């Protein structure tokens, strides 16, 4: 049942139209993943064919030819991710810190999660802020609608966990299985009024690992912005390590609509 694992479906398709992002950015947007020097032309041909205005392309940082090839096409470097990995069998999962409890979100709590995301991501410096053409994009809105949609689309391979402290919901993490053996928590945040926010984030990540294990996964991964030093610190403390293979990917944006059609 690979169809249930959203990421793998997208990873197979190297370049694809993204209607969700078109709605958010107001321009016809496509994404290209795992771009190599050889596949750049294919990605740009797709964009011209489908009348794409903005391409968000990712390539492996080790592949300097791919990165330079994207630059030649007018791409603008917007972020770099560092990939972390953790084996949950070889390195036992630590206990959840005292006084914090982790459980799946319940029906009726979706709005609370949405508000926590809006608060936690208010000044988040992701790749939208790095591109002046996307300066109108409100990252708080993007991440809060992502959090809300995650609450509304839960199943055996996707869920949202929340952290409770003294009876109040103070944080959330979205969790998913990328494959039967691999889990990932792509989005997490803690309310800004909370003290010890990094401790809550650790508790959420440990809760996520328990969720992955209960579904049979043995490893988990995390893609972190290279600039998000706090998250790298938190993940290292709970046993994550930089991935040996394809550790970093660049995200490059290009304005396809301004390129000459023969380019
Ligand atoms: C991730 C998050 C919970 C961390 O909370 P925080 O209050 O910023 O964390 P803290 O200030 O407690 O910092 C944790 C540690 O990182 C250190 N730190 C903070 N900023 C740092 C920086 N720029 N470079 C290196 N270390 C840093 C702190 O000194 C602290 O270390 P210590 O425990 O040794 O004192 C919070 O920032 C958040 O919700 N962010 C928005 C969402 C997000 O980034 N989600 C993750 C990606 S989806």
CATH number at residue 200: 3.40.630.30
Q: Residues 50, 170: one domain? A: no
Measured CA to CA, the distance from residue 31 to residue 16 in angstroms comes to 5
Pocket test for ligand 1, best of 81, 189, 230, 231 (most atoms within 8 A of CB): 230
Domain tally for the chain?
2
Residue 108 belongs to some domain of the structure: yes
What's the CA-to-centroid distance between 137 and ligand 1, angstroms? Answer: 24
Q: Residues 130, 238: one domain? A: yes
Chain mean pLDDT for the chain: 87
Domain of residue 178, residue span: 85-242
pLDDT digits (tens, 9 = 90+) for 165-204: 999 999 999 999 999 999 999 999 999 999 999 999 999 9
Measured CA to CA, the distance from residue 106 to residue 197 in angstroms comes to 22
What's the CA-to-centroid distance between 30 and ligand 1, angstroms? Answer: 32
Q: Residues 221, 160: one domain? A: yes
Q: Residues 57, 40: one domain? A: yes
Q: In Å, what is the CA distance from 174 to each residue of 7, 157, 187?
A: 14, 11, 5
What's the CA-to-centroid distance between 233 and ligand 1, angstroms? Answer: 8
Residue 51 belongs to some domain of the structure: yes
Mean pLDDT across 53-76: 88
Name the residue at shortest CA distance from atom 2 of ligand 1: 198
What's the CA-to-centroid distance between 231 and ligand 1, angstroms? Answer: 6
Q: Residues 66, 10: one domain? A: yes
pLDDT classification of 6: cutoffs 50, 70, 90: very low
Name the residue at shortest CA distance from atom 28 of ligand 1: 230
Residue 220 belongs to some domain of the structure: yes
Residue 114 belongs to some domain of the structure: yes
Residue 263 belongs to some domain of the structure: no
**153/135: higher pLDDT:** 153
Q: Residues 155, 34: one domain? A: no
Q: Residues 156, 213: one domain? A: yes
Instruction: Please determine, for residue 11, whether its predicted confidence score (pLDDT) is greater than 80.
Output: no
Looking at residue 8, which CATH number applies to its domain?
3.40.630
Instruction: Please determine, for residue 214, whether its predicted confidence score (pLDDT) is greater than 90.
Output: yes
Ligand 1 pocket, residues with Cβ under 6 angstroms: 120-121, 124, 187-190, 197-198, 201, 228-231, 233
Residue 57, token pair as written in the block? 């392309």
Measured CA to CA, the distance from residue 96 to residue 85 in angstroms comes to 19
**Nearest ligand 1 atom, CA 230:** 16
Q: Residues 62, 172: one domain? A: no
- Positive or negative torsion for Cα 139, 81, 173, 215: positive
Q: Residues 223, 125: one domain? A: yes
Q: Residues 6, 19: one domain? A: yes
Q: Residues 104, 190: one domain? A: yes
- Positive or negative torsion for Cα 123, 128, 131, 136: negative
pLDDT score for 151: 98
> Strands, E, within 37-125: which ranges?
54-60, 76-87, 100-104
pLDDT score for 44: 92
Q: Residues 143, 13: one domain? A: no
Measured CA to CA, the distance from residue 146 to residue 144 in angstroms comes to 5
What's the CA-to-centroid distance between 19 and ligand 1, angstroms? Answer: 33
């Amino acid at each position: 049942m690979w169809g249930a694992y959203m990421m793998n479906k997208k990873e197979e398709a190297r370049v694809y139209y993204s209607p969700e992002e078109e709605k958010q950015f107001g321009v016809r947007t496509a994404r290209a993943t795992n771009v190599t020097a050889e596949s750049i032309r294919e990605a740009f041909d797709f964009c011209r064919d489908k009348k794409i205005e903005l391409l968000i392309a990712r390539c492996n940082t080790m592949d300097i030819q791919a990165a330079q090839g994207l630059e030649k096409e007018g791409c603008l470097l917007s972020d770099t991710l560092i990939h972390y990995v953790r084996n949950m069998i070889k390195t036992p999962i630590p206990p959840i810190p005292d006084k914090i409890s982790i459980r799946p979100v319940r029906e009726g709590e979706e709005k609370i999660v949405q508000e926590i995301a809006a608060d936690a991501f208010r000044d988040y410096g992701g790749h939208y802020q790095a591109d002046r053409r996307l300066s109108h994009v409100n990252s708080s809105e993007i991440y809060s609608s992502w959090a809300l949609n995650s609450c509304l689309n839960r199943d055996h391979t996707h869920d949202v966990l929340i952290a409770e402290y003294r009876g109040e919901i103070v944080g959330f993490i979205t969790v998913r299985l990328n494959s039967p053996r691999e889990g990932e928590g792509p989005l997490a945040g803690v309310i800004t009024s909370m003290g010890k926010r990094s401790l809550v984030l650790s508790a959420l990540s440990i809760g996520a690992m328990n969720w992955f294990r209960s579904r049979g996964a043995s490893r988990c991964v995390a893609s972190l912005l290279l600039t998000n030093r706090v998250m790298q610190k938190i993940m290292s403390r709970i046993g994550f390590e930089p991935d040996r293979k394809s550790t970093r990917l660049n995200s490059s944006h290009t304005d396809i609509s301004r390129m000459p059609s023969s380019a």
